[in-house]
Amino acid sequence: MNANALLPLPEATFHILLALADADRHGYAITQDIAARTGGKVKVGPGTLYRTIQRMLEQGLIQETRDRPPPEQDDDRRRYYRITPFGRSVVQADLARLTELVELARARGLEPVAEKV
Amino acid sequence: MNANALLPLPEATFHILLALADADRHGYAITQDIAARTGGKVKVGPGTLYRTIQRMLEQGLIQETRDRPPPEQDDDRRRYYRITPFGRSVVQADLARLTELVELARARGLEPVAEKV
DNA sequence: CACTATACATCCACTGTGGATATAGTTCAA
DNA sequence: TTGAACTATATCCACAGTGGATGTATAGTG
């Protein structure tokens, strides 16, 4: 399977892969991580989240893992996910695409406006 | 109207705004410009193109203009479009969003993969 | 003569998203 | 103590955006 065939990645897919880039996480924790990381600007609702996870499993971007934290920090209901090597190469390909897009825009004389933080 | 309300911009909208950033263009020329600029990687088909232009006119991102090139370079069928100041501020806001997205990904230890050109 | 290019426009099917709803246990403040 | 908010997963409906085909018409090229 060619990484470029999946580009451009849907917003939710990109954010979920970012959330799993540095650690295994369960579904709900992924949503929390995305909201925290983007300062609340990006919110992935349950509909998008679980549907997107399903698709990503089928595409081989992520895997469900049996590795769990010690029982006192765990919750039976949780399902943990891990990014696959393929998933990692796909985010990187999309990251390259985004980088090019930004360069393209600058080449057209556009500069990002300062954001209010 | 707040620029951030329209973010994230759909792919086609972003590319059309880029195509109009440095010059007025007619519909078909916009498609050509996008394909050329992205080395054929991005193609906006007619369905997406004309529907998106319609939406962008309604949103005030672009305007149809009566300014036309001299008759010997013109074609009666063409409809020319120009980016509005609002449109420009919206692309810039989206460009800022994309820049943040790229930074976010790098903060997670991801680096874009080298592309084959 | 047929095909490709130019130029606009509409239609259908598909994908992706937001938000509501469902279920169910926990936690915490009024 | 009770009801609201939080944790956690999952499904459903309606809507937005896209790709590609089709339609219409003219011009140019092999």
| A113 contacts on B by Cβ (under 8 Å) | 89, 92-93, 95-96
3-state helix, strand, coil in chain A (%, to 5): 55, 10, 40
pLDDT at A2: 82
| pLDDT (mean) for B25-40 | 95
Q: Is position A47 within any domain?
A: yes
Report residue B46 as tokens. Answer: 């007619």
In a domain, A3, yes or no: no
Other CB atoms within 10 A of residue A36 CB: 10
Radius of gyration of chain B (CA): 16
Query: Is residue B61 included in any domain, yes or no?
Result: yes
The answer to whether residue B103 sits within a structural domain is yes
Domain containing B45: what range? 9-107
Determine, yes or no, domain membership for A115.
no
> Would you call the peptide bond into B69 cis, given omega within 30 degrees of 0 as the criterion?
no
Query: Is A96 close to B113, i.e. CB distance below 8 A?
Result: yes
Is A85 inside any structural domain?
yes
Predicted local confidence at residue B56, as pLDDT: 98
Which one of A6, A86, A108, A116 makes the best mutation probe of the B interface by having the most chain B beta carbons within 10 Å?
Answer: A108
- Give A94 CA → C22 C1' in Å: 36
Does A89 reside within a domain?
Answer: yes
Among candidates A74, A56, A67, which has minimal Cα distance to A10? A56
Measured in Å, how far apart are chain B's first and last C-alpha atoms? 40
A31 C-beta less than 7 Å away from strand C: no
Q: How confident is the model at residue B114 (pLDDT cuts 50, 70, 90)?
A: low
DSSP state of A12: H
Handedness of CA A46, A47, A53, A56 (dihedral sign): negative
Name the band, by pLDDT with cuts 50, 70 and 90, for residue A3. Answer: confident
Residue A116 placed within a domain: no
CATH number at residue A27: 1.10.10.10
3-state secondary structure (DSSP) of residue A25: strand
Q: Find chain A residues with C-beta within 8 A of B92's C-beta.
A: 110-113
The percent of residues above 90 in pLDDT, for chain B, comes to 88
| Statement: the CB of A44 is under 7 Å from strand C | yes
pLDDT in tens, B83-105: 999 999 999 999 999 999 999 99
* Contact residues on chain B for A104, CB-CB shorter than 8 A: 18, 37-38
Q: Which chain B residues touch A22 with a CB distance below 8 Å?
A: 108-109
B109 in contact with nucleic chain C (CB within 7 A): no
Give me the count of residues in chain A: 117
Q: Kindly report whether the global pTM for this prediction surpasses the value 0.75.
A: yes
Question: Which strand C bases fall within 7 angstroms of a protein CB?
Answer: 6-12, 15-22
Average pLDDT, rounded, for chain A: 93
Evaluate if the CB of A50 falls below 7 Å from strand D: yes
Give pLDDT, residue A113.
Answer: 76
Contact (CB, 8 A) for B23 and B109: no
How many domains is chain A built from? 1
Q: What are the pLDDT digits (tens) for A29-64?
A: 999 999 999 999 999 999 999 999 999 999 999 999
